[in-house]
Structure 1
Amino acid sequence: MGLLGTIQQSKGALDAAQIGLQVVGNNVANANTPGYIRQELQQASAVAVREGNLIKGHGVRPTGIVQVVDEALFERMIDAKTALSGAETLEKAYSQLEELSTDLDNTGLSQQFSLFNNAVQELSTQPGDASLREFVILQGQTLADNIRGARSKASDRQQAWDGELKDVANDINRLTTRIAKLNLEIATIEGGGLIQSDATGLRDQRYRDLEELAQYVDLNIQEQESGAVSVFVAGDYLVNDGISRDVASVYSEKRGALEIRIIETDSPLDVTGGQLAATMQARDGVFGEYITGIDRMASALIRSVNEVHSQGQGREGYQQVLSSSKGNANVPLPDAGLPWTPKNGTFDMNVVDESGDVISTHRIKVKNLGQVTDSTISSIVADIDAIEGISATVTSGGQIEILSDSPASSFTFGEDTSGFLAAAGINTFFVGRSAVDINVNESLKNDSDFLAISSGGIGEDTEVLSRMLDLVDRPVDDLEGRSVRGIYESTIATMAQKISLQGSEADGLRDFYATLQGQHLAITGVNIDEESIKLIAYQRAFQASSRVISTATEMLDILMTL
């Protein structure tokens, strides 16, 4: 290699320095561009040539312009993004639930329990006071209204979270479609991996889209030799080269709510993290568990109050009663569809005259022993109908209707060891099965004289009121020894604890993600000072190569003049 070879060698160095200057200039130009990943010129020594006993280098050759990115760190960062997005979604859900429940400041349902109990307490001291009877019914109605209202608000929020799944599905489809399109463009411009340079701009956009997609679902990203990426979620791919799979929010009979399914395979998108998983957890877990707790509390309140009230007598007897519960009249009681199953036992019915004196007392058997001869609603109604002075039937709607045969007589109810009266909704204070439909019995709202006070006869005692005192705070066997108020307060206490824990978790993940993001930006971001140093280095290299060419040219001119 002579002087011409030297000039050619330096010419390659000039080209490399010029390309390096262009790369530096592009980095500086995008220093403030969001999501831009800085580039770096990769160079290698040209293949050496042997001349005699010497092996001479042929200078430098640019091998590619690549992005400076730590793929392992990027994957950790988007995993943290997934976890953070899920945590913030749940934090938002718990914040909404906290707004619904005013018990955290002692003005909610727990306070309503106390007001209802206080009203019963006042009536027990003056059972003949009509205004106090009205007040007990009013406080019961207020309690029922607040329970229904609390559940309704939580249910509305739950449905709103269910509706957000549609937006999540649309965002996932938007991103996967764009990533698939970018895959094709990147693979094309990079020559299917044959060119060693990265597709600037296209890869930047794909990194941003992958990071945004990670907000919704937990991703497994695998880059192919062609430069395209495959995106998997729990073993199912959403993107493979230039192909993307759309998802849709579909009603699931199993869940009883919407779920995200892959349209092509009609299989659920099995996610464990991100906004999608957190949205379903907010719907089914956060609000679902709260609603379940409200329903359980309301059911326990209805049953405990009604089992006491249904065995008592007010200030007058009934001329007509229509049960609030509906059931299948011709099957055994466990299959009749009542709110709960009556036990094996009995209940009393009394026929009374206009002054409330007992004309006759009748004990109705309720048989529930798992035998063929067990009672049905129809058989119990038939026994009631057999009482002289009383008629009883099962309506077409499955309700029990009991009528007095004479205007001069009426009927009352007494001791019930079976719980049938409360289960059937006869002579009860509350009606309904849960927080959805809890209400005060319409007959009490129409006439407070039907409010049960006595257990020994009309005007005989205040035993029923005494048993209703502190009923909401009394341990109940069906509630594992907890009280009605205890069930609700346990729900509130658990909620408060979860709100605190979720807030701490979200704060921790925000710090962790910020740390990883800082590390990522330290690698991928443009540092003006560093680029200035590279600029000077390429400039000096260009000047030195130019000087080599100038010197070699002068030497060549000397040779030509000899």
Structure 2
Amino acid sequence: MANGMGSLYIGASGLQNSQNALNTTANNLANVETTGYVRQQVLFSDRDYNTFDKKSAISMQQAGLGVNIADVVHTRDYFLDKYYRTENGRQAFYDATNEAVQEVITSFQELEGTTFQSGMYDFWTAFQEFAKIPDSSVNQNLIIQKGTLFIERAQGIYDNMKSYQSKINLKVSESIDRINELGHTIQELNLQIQKVEAGKIETAMTLRDERDNALDELSKYAQIDFEETSDGIVKVKLEGVRFVDEVHVFEMGQKVDRMTGFITPTWPHLSDESLGQYTEVFDYSVDISSEMDTDIGILKAQVLARGDHIANYTDVAGLTADQYNDGAGMSVMLSAQAEFDQLVHGVMTAINDVLSPLTTASFTGADGTVYNNVKIWDEEKGCVGNDGQKPGRELFVRRGMERYTAVEGNDGKTYYVYNEEDTTDTSKMYTTYGVSINQDLLEAESNLPYLRQNGEVAQSMAEELAAIWENKGLILNPNDTDPCTFEGYYEKFMNGLATKGNVYESVAQSLSGSVTSIENQRQQVIGVSADEELTNMIKYQNAYNAASRYINVISEMLEHIITQLG
């Protein structure tokens, strides 16, 4: 112990450092409910000692100079932070995907009364009535009315899905903007922290808390890797690409498709826009799985759920399982649009092919053009309406193309050559959004084919129309091998959506529990415990009081020496 007046300095150090510890504890208590606040812990150490050798004393002696605050610890667990941010991003991915599935299910209004399935049933009922009395104008009109409602409901659902794609696209843009904003926030905080801590005296507690909060939020949007350098700079990689370093923020870009307006996230610093070469943020050739950490981030979930185009039946029909799974099958919206449009396409073409049947023929046109194995109207089997016009009219017409082109043969006969669907133009395809009800039938229901060309009522044709609803000719997608009826297809389609929704929801809920558990573990390290801090406050207050009493004792001793012994 120091002698004489030096002892007062020891007491003063106790007062000063106990007061500082009390201030730190009070700051912790004031931030008990502050999100992202990391508790501060005071570590004490001895000040220097004065050592007296034997020349100035009988034996080796040391005199302490009091106590000092060695450090105010800003404690975090790097591994818990990394684990939390990974699971936080994964949970956000499945949450966003589940939201898209639920939106698709809502589009079909199966829980709101006005269901698409009921519209299909009404349409089927109309054909059952038509099969009973084909020449009844009431039954003919019923088919046209229910057909109109069928296609209007189908188009309404398709519109809803397209509209939701646009909403997701807006969210993609907002997510990219927020990611870039967080990148700049982290870089600015890096510079401020470096400035504060450059002297190796002070730790930038509040700034570090803000930076960690920004990293936590960034982890929701995409997969991140981070590391802190010796000078306090945090470097961040986003989806394996440099995003924030000591000097730069490599912003994420937006490539906009001219046809759809859909945004694709890109890396401008790795792209050459002048040559039309873009480096996309996400690599979709890699399977989505937790093992490979490819199921992380809201942004990826949004881009995947939206898809890169507006799908139709060509995105599912005639493809292999691998082609489908690597294409529309990866996207909630694309798979729903493709599979739904396949159903509508199947209904429309099946009905049209009975009302206006096709056969294959070869002939030479009057102009010398050779037609080999082309589809033409089957005049022998085909029926006509009340006006007797050939060829028999179809119920659903393509907006950009007639069903047939009349060709004069060199034999003097007129052939009605079927115009094949043009898969590059939806207005020339039998897709949900590319068709309408035949205007001739809307104007006069009796134009619906129901008569043989000899004037007899085509009872067998009407029965064939009714029977198509029982034919098992549709397969949901290439992963399915069980053909089903139109009604069975729709039920399987809706069940598939519900199953997807349940899976994504259960995974999201499970991950939510994991994220909460990890956050609880983090809080045990960084969180503020009011009880613990109050205990510390009592401890530091007692230490302050003890230092104060110590000074009083030394003061009385010195006074006694000076006044009584001096």
Q: How far apart are the structure 2 equivalents of 1:332 and 1:488?
A: 42
Secondary structure (helix, strand or coil) at the match of 2:342 reads: helix
1:97 matched to 2:104? The reply is: yes
Supply the AA of the counterpart residue of 2:431.
S
Which residue does 1:15 correspond to in 2? Answer: 16
CA shift, 1:501, in A, is: 2.3
Specify whether residues 471 and 532 from structure 1 end up closer, same or farther in structure 2 by C-alpha distance, changes over 3 A only: same
Which residue does 1:152 correspond to in 2? Answer: 159
1:45 matched to 2:42? The reply is: no
CA shift, 1:449, in A, is: 3.5
Q: How far apart are the structure 1 equivalents of 2:438 and 2:520?
A: 64
Instruction: Give the 5 Å matches for 1:91-130.
Output: 91-103=98-110, 107-130=114-137
Contact kept? 1:305, 1:468, Cα under 8 Å: yes
Contact kept? 2:475, 2:489, Cα under 8 Å: no
Supply the AA of the counterpart residue of 2:38.
I
Which residue does 1:262 correspond to in 2? Answer: 267
**How many residues are treated as equivalent by the alignment?**
486
CA shift, 1:188, in A, is: 0.6
CA shift, 1:148, in A, is: 1.6
Contact kept? 2:134, 2:458, Cα under 8 Å: no
Contact kept? 1:310, 1:422, Cα under 8 Å: no
2:488 to 477, 486, 489: 486
Cα offsets for 1:482-510 (capped at 9, x unmatched)? 33333333221111112222222232233
CA shift, 1:151, in A, is: 0.9
Supply the AA of the counterpart residue of 2:166.
Q
CA shift, 1:448, in A, is: 3.1
Which residue does 1:276 correspond to in 2? Answer: 299
Specify whether residues 457 and 218 from structure 1 end up closer, same or farther in structure 2 by C-alpha distance, changes over 3 A only: farther
Supply the AA of the counterpart residue of 1:200.
M
Which residue does 1:306 correspond to in 2? Answer: 352
Q: How far apart are the structure 2 equivalents of 1:347 and 1:150?
A: 32
1:537 matched to 2:539? The reply is: yes
Instruction: Give the 5 Å matches for 1:114-193.
Output: 114-191=121-198
1:453 matched to 2:476? The reply is: no
1:214 to 202, 205, 219: 219
1:290 matched to 2:336? The reply is: yes
Which residue does 1:385 correspond to in 2? Answer: 409
CA shift, 1:535, in A, is: 2.0
CA shift, 1:311, in A, is: 2.4
Cα offsets for 1:517-555 (capped at 9, x unmatched)? 333334333333322222222233233334444555555
Which residue does 1:225 correspond to in 2? Answer: 230
Q: How far apart are the structure 2 equivalents of 1:257 and 1:111?
A: 34
| Segment of structure 1 superposing worse, 262-271 or 223-232 | 262-271
CA shift, 1:291, in A, is: 0.7
Instruction: Give the 5 Å matches for 1:361-440.
Output: 384-388=408-412, 390=414, 421=418, 423=420, 432-440=429-437
Secondary structure (helix, strand or coil) at the match of 2:223 reads: coil
Specify whether residues 240 and 343 from structure 1 end up closer, same or farther in structure 2 by C-alpha distance, changes over 3 A only: farther
Contact kept? 1:103, 1:492, Cα under 8 Å: no
Secondary structure (helix, strand or coil) at the match of 2:34 reads: coil
Q: How far apart are the structure 2 equivalents of 1:446 and 1:173?
A: 58
Contact kept? 2:104, 2:333, Cα under 8 Å: yes
Which residue does 1:364 correspond to in 2? Answer: none
TM-score scaled by length of structure 1? 0.75
CA shift, 1:303, in A, is: 2.5
Which residue does 2:291 correspond to in 1? Answer: none
Which residue does 1:525 correspond to in 2? Answer: 527
Contact kept? 2:135, 2:450, Cα under 8 Å: no
Q: How far apart are the structure 2 equivalents of 1:186 and 1:438?
A: 63
Supply the AA of the counterpart residue of 2:102.
S
Supply the AA of the counterpart residue of 1:434.
T
TM-score scaled by length of structure 2? 0.75
CA shift, 1:59, in A, is: 4.2
CA shift, 1:54, in A, is: 4.3
Specify whether residues 383 and 437 from structure 1 end up closer, same or farther in structure 2 by C-alpha distance, changes over 3 A only: closer
Which residue does 1:515 correspond to in 2? Answer: 517
CA shift, 1:474, in A, is: 0.9
Specify whether residues 457 and 137 from structure 1 end up closer, same or farther in structure 2 by C-alpha distance, changes over 3 A only: farther
Contact kept? 2:91, 2:296, Cα under 8 Å: no
Q: How far apart are the structure 2 equivalents of 1:105 and 1:28?
A: 51
Q: How far apart are the structure 2 equivalents of 1:162 and 1:209?
A: 24
Supply the AA of the counterpart residue of 2:68.
R
Cα offsets for 1:51-79 (capped at 9, x unmatched)? 44647455433222222333332333333
Which residue does 1:336 correspond to in 2? Answer: none
1:244 matched to 2:249? The reply is: yes
Supply the AA of the counterpart residue of 2:21.
G
Contact kept? 1:248, 1:261, Cα under 8 Å: yes
Contact kept? 1:148, 1:437, Cα under 8 Å: no
Cα offsets for 1:130-165 (capped at 9, x unmatched)? 221121122222212221221111111111111211
| Segment of structure 1 superposing worse, 254-263 or 458-467 | 254-263
Specify whether residues 508 and 457 from structure 1 end up closer, same or farther in structure 2 by C-alpha distance, changes over 3 A only: farther
1:495 matched to 2:500? The reply is: no
Secondary structure (helix, strand or coil) at the match of 2:72 reads: strand
1:63 matched to 2:60? The reply is: no
Q: How far apart are the structure 2 equivalents of 1:465 and 1:156?
A: 38
Supply the AA of the counterpart residue of 2:141.
E
Specify whether residues 288 and 201 from structure 1 end up closer, same or farther in structure 2 by C-alpha distance, changes over 3 A only: same
Contact kept? 1:431, 1:441, Cα under 8 Å: no
Supply the AA of the counterpart residue of 2:189.
L
Supply the AA of the counterpart residue of 1:160.
K
Specify whether residues 85 and 122 from structure 1 end up closer, same or farther in structure 2 by C-alpha distance, changes over 3 A only: same
Contact kept? 1:293, 1:488, Cα under 8 Å: no
Cα offsets for 1:391-446 (capped at 9, x unmatched)? x7xxxxxxxxx6xxxxxxxxxxxxxxxxx748479xxxx98421122323333333
Which residue does 2:34 correspond to in 1? Answer: 33
Contact kept? 2:243, 2:251, Cα under 8 Å: yes
Q: How far apart are the structure 1 equivalents of 2:528 and 2:475?
A: 66
Secondary structure (helix, strand or coil) at the match of 1:433 reads: coil
Q: How far apart are the structure 2 equivalents of 1:537 and 1:242?
A: 45
Contact kept? 1:311, 1:455, Cα under 8 Å: no
| Segment of structure 1 superposing worse, 224-233 or 255-264 | 255-264
* Unmatched 5+ stretches in structure 1: 313-328, 334-341, 362-379, 393-401, 403-419
Secondary structure (helix, strand or coil) at the match of 1:250 reads: strand
CA shift, 1:14, in A, is: 3.4
CA shift, 1:215, in A, is: 2.2
Q: How far apart are the structure 1 equivalents of 2:376 and 2:102?
A: 49
Identity across aligned pairs (percent)?
Answer: 21
Contact kept? 1:231, 1:240, Cα under 8 Å: yes
Specify whether residues 51 and 500 from structure 1 end up closer, same or farther in structure 2 by C-alpha distance, changes over 3 A only: same
Q: How far apart are the structure 1 equivalents of 2:259 and 2:357?
A: 41
What RMSD over aligned residues (CA atoms) do the two structures have, in Å? 4.0
Supply the AA of the counterpart residue of 2:461.
V
